[in-house]
């Protein structure tokens, strides 16, 4: 108790002395210095304003003299600015003056300035000729008043400096006395408490070293002063919180590992569902130190799977477990149960963990089982999605195969009789001398529509060519030459519709199938001719750069509505305005062009304005022109 009183008195005395020192040095001293600086600044500002007023009046006088000598009103600008500045500064000087005497002198100075301005400068600025002797007397009176006010303000500055020096000396003496008192009290306090505090601090240091080596269970014994006991208790609390955080982190790691392991088991596609279920409950049993685990899950593609671990676990009445709502695990049937949620496509299930010889399940174990249930539910839903995707993909493949069979069957069944129709019709058409005009027109219509139907069949076969397994023969070829051949071939069709058709082509080498590329260009040009009214024009060009070959076909036809552009290259798609104007065609040409261009590693784009025309642009990879092989001389 005696040491405690001495410690209390020593700390109190040290605290009081140190507080007094701080108050004197940083509180009172700072306030005194701040007040001095504020007063000194105001006096200095007043004195500077007073001097500025003199300068302003001097500028005003100079302006008046210049105006009187030259008659130029330009010299009145310094007068105006100097007068305004002087009056403003005199007001400021009066505000900043501390003593009544100084303010009275500043007021006398202001009246002198007003007298000079009103009796001499004002009339002179207005063009009158006032008495210069009077002006000089009035300005000398202002100068005298300004000097008197400056002397008064200087006296205020000197007095303020004297007061501040006296106050500073008093503060310094007080601070020195307080510092000596603090040192004495501190020496006595250290001498008294050295042995009393070193032992507890050493024990705290030993505890910290043991904690840093990994022994999280060690705690320091609170001893010594109250402050030291507080520090010791805080250290113990920190060690306890660290231990709790490590345990929580280990629990999170265990949850993540178990969830990952369970999901890995559920995602194995080469294992029997019953075996997978047994492995899942076995992993859960190992993580929760369970005596038995019961599970029932609905596995997509297999059905409901019921399992338990170990296989020798007793049979239980699980009716109540099946009615557990989804969410947090709940005690049920002598263990901890969690529901695995489901829906109409993937019905739910449950997990029941039974443990007989260990304490009740902890909160981290509840979270662990809940996390496992959610991961199982997520994995089963994903498995259900995969099963549905597999079924859908299988159905799509079957539809695609049926489509191929249908096209092959229809084209074969149509082509055989159509060949006969064409043959016999051509024979009848050759006997045109023996036919009347109506019969010739009828045979021509039969031939025209039969050829159209044959072209449609050929287009269907061309769209279905990947299924035929035919390999295209590619070679380096000049696409400009192919375009020129197509241009010459369709020139008669364009002339029949009174269309102007032009071709601008330069050598453009690509690697491809000549027949297929010629077919693609022909269909683009045929479409341009078909959808361009009589009197219009069709132009196309073929060019190349270092990387690409470009073919652009432009017409002045009916155009394509914007809503029809996205489906333009889909088989059997036809634009609305084409059907409204009864333009014939099955809608296969552009789909064939797209497939041919895509097979050659290129692309096709379209830009169109309804009523103004359309441009199709085909882009293909360019290849170097072949080097001619020299022919040996004979």
As for how many domains the chain has, the answer is: 3
In a domain, 49, yes or no: yes
Q: Are both 187 and 282 inside the same structural domain?
A: no
Tokens 């202002």 sit on residue? 142
Q: Are both 255 and 187 inside the same structural domain?
A: no
Burial code (b: 16+ CB inside 10 Å, e: under 16) for 500-514 equals: ebebebeebbbebbb
* The pLDDT of residue 257: 63
In a domain, 197, yes or no: no
Q: Are both 180 and 63 inside the same structural domain?
A: yes
Q: Are both 359 and 477 inside the same structural domain?
A: no
Q: Are both 124 and 262 inside the same structural domain?
A: no
Strand locations in 66-204, DSSP E? none
Q: Which of 627, 628, 626, 630 is nearest to 509 (CA)?
A: 626
Q: Are both 502 and 616 inside the same structural domain?
A: yes
Backbone angles phi, psi at 352, to 5 degrees: -130, 125
Q: Give the separation between CA 96 and CA 152, rounded to whole angstroms.
A: 12
In a domain, 387, yes or no: no
In a domain, 291, yes or no: yes
Q: Which of 348, 345, 347 is nearest to 337 (CA)?
A: 348
Collapsed DSSP state (helix, strand, coil) of residue 468: coil
* The pLDDT of residue 163: 85
Instruction: Write out the DSSP string of 24-39.
Output: IIIIIHHHHHHHHHHH
In a domain, 626, yes or no: no
In a domain, 542, yes or no: yes
Q: Are both 45 and 182 inside the same structural domain?
A: yes
Q: Give the separation between CA 92 and CA 53, rounded to whole angstroms.
A: 10
**508 with 549: CB under 8 angstroms?**
yes
* The pLDDT of residue 611: 86
Q: Which of 55, 120, 65 is nearest to 86 (CA)?
A: 55
* The pLDDT of residue 1: 45
Q: How far is the first Cα of the chain from the last one, in angstroms, to the nearest whole number?
A: 132
In a domain, 137, yes or no: yes
Q: What is the mean pLDDT of each run of 10 residues along the chain (634 residues)?
A: 63 79 77 82 85 87 84 82 87 84 86 87 82 86 88 85 85 83 76 67 77 76 70 78 70 63 62 69 76 76 74 75 74 78 64 74 76 75 74 78 63 65 69 63 69 65 51 81 91 89 92 90 89 91 92 91 82 67 66 89 91 92 80 56
Q: Are both 180 and 93 inside the same structural domain?
A: yes
The CATH number of whichever domain residue 360 belongs to comes to 3.30.450.40
The CATH number of whichever domain residue 589 belongs to comes to 3.30.565.10
The residue range of the domain holding 560 is 473-621
Question: Of the candidates 144, 170, 191, which is a domain's last residue?
Answer: 191
- Read off the pTM: 0.40
In a domain, 54, yes or no: yes
Q: Give the separation between CA 218 and CA 453, rounded to whole angstroms.
A: 95
Q: Are both 185 and 255 inside the same structural domain?
A: no
Q: Are both 155 and 59 inside the same structural domain?
A: yes
Q: Order of strands across the sheet with 303-309? A: 303-309, 292-299, 349-354, 335-340, 330-332
The CATH number of whichever domain residue 149 belongs to comes to 1.20.120
* The pLDDT of residue 521: 92
How many CA atoms, within 13 angstroms, populate the side-chain half-sphere of residue 554?
12
Question: Of the candidates 377, 400, 416, which is a domain's last residue?
Answer: 377
Question: Of the candidates 345, 377, 409, which is a domain's last residue?
Answer: 377
* The pLDDT of residue 618: 94
**613 with 559: CB under 8 angstroms?**
yes
Q: Are both 490 and 356 inside the same structural domain?
A: no
Q: Are both 326 and 178 inside the same structural domain?
A: no
């Amino acid at each position: 108790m005696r040491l405690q009183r001495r410690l209390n008195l020593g700390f109190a005395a040290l605290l009081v002395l140190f507080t007094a020192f701080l108050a004197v040095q940083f509180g009172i001293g700072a306030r005194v210095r701040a007040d001095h600086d504020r007063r000194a600044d105001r006096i200095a500002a007043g004195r500077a304003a007073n001097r500025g007023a003199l300068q302003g009046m001097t500028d005003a006088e100079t302006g008046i003299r210049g105006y009187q000598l030259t008659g130029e009103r330009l010299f009145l600008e310094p007068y105006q600015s100097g007068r305004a500045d002087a009056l403003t500064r005199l007001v400021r000087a009066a505000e900043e003056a501390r003593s009544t005497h100084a303010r009275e002198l500043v007021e006398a100075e202001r009246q002198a300035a007003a007298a000079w301005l009103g009796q001499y400068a004002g009339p002179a600025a207005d063009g009158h000729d006032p008495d210069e002797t009077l002006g000089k007397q009035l300005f000398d009176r202002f100068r005298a008043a300004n000097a008197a006010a400056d002397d008064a303000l200087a006296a205020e500055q000197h007095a303020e400096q004297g007061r501040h020096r006296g106050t500073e000396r008093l503060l310094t003496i007080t601070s020195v006395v307080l510092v000596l008192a603090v040192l004495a009290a501190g020496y006595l306090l250290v001498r008294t408490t050295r042995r009393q505090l070193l032992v507890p601090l050493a024990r705290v240091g030993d505890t910290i070293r043991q904690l840093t080596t990994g022994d999280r269970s060690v705690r320091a014994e609170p001893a010594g002063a109250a402050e030291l006991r507080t520090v010791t208790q805080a250290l113990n609390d920190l060690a306890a919180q660290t231990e709790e955080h490590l345990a929580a982190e280990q629990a999170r790691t265990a949850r993540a590992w178990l969830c990952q392991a369970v999901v890995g088991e559920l995602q194995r596609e080469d294992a029997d569902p019953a075996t997978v279920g047994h492995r899942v409950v076995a992993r859960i049993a190992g993580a929760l130190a369970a005596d038995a685990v019961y599970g029932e899950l609905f596995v997509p593609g297999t059905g409901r799977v019921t399992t338990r671990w170990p296989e020798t676990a007793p049979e239980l009445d699980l009716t109540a477990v099946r009615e557990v709502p989804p969410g947090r695990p709940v005690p049920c049937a002598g263990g901890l149960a969690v529901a695995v949620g489901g829906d109409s496509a993937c019905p739910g299930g449950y997990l029941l963990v039974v443990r007989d010889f260990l304490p009740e399940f902890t909160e981290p174990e509840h979270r662990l089982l809940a996390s496992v249930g959610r991961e199982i539910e997520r994995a089963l839903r994903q498995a259900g999605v995969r099963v549905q995707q597999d079924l859908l993909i299988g159905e799509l493949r079957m539809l695609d195969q049926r489509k191929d069979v249908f096209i092959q069957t229809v084209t074969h069944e149509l082509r055989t009789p159509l060949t006969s129709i064409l043959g016999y019709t051509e024979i009848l058409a050759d006997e045109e001398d023996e036919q009347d005009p109506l019969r010739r027109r009828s045979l021509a219509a039969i031939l025209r529509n039969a050829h159209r139907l044959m072209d449609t069949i050929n287009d269907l076969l061309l769209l279905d060519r990947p299924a035929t397994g035919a390999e295209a023969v590619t070679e380096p070829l000049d696409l400009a030459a192919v375009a020129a051949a197509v241009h010459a071939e369709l020139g008669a069709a364009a002339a029949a519709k009174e269309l102007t058709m032009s071709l601008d082509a330069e050598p453009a080498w690509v690697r491809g199938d000549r027949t297929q590329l010629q077919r693609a260009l022909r269909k683009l040009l045929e479409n341009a001719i078909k959808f361009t009214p009589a009197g219009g024009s069709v132009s196309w060009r073929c060019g190349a750069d270092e990387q690409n070959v470009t073919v652009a076909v432009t017409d002045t036809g009916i155009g394509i509505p914007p809503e029809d552009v996205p489906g333009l290259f889909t088989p059997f798609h036809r634009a609305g305005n084409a059907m409204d104007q009864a333009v014939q065609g099955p809608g296969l040409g552009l789909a064939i062009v797209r497939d041919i261009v895509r097979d050659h590693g290129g692309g096709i784009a379209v830009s169109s304005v309804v009523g103004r025309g359309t441009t199709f642009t085909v882009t293909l990879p360019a290849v170097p022109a072949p080097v001619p092989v020299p022919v040996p001389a004979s």
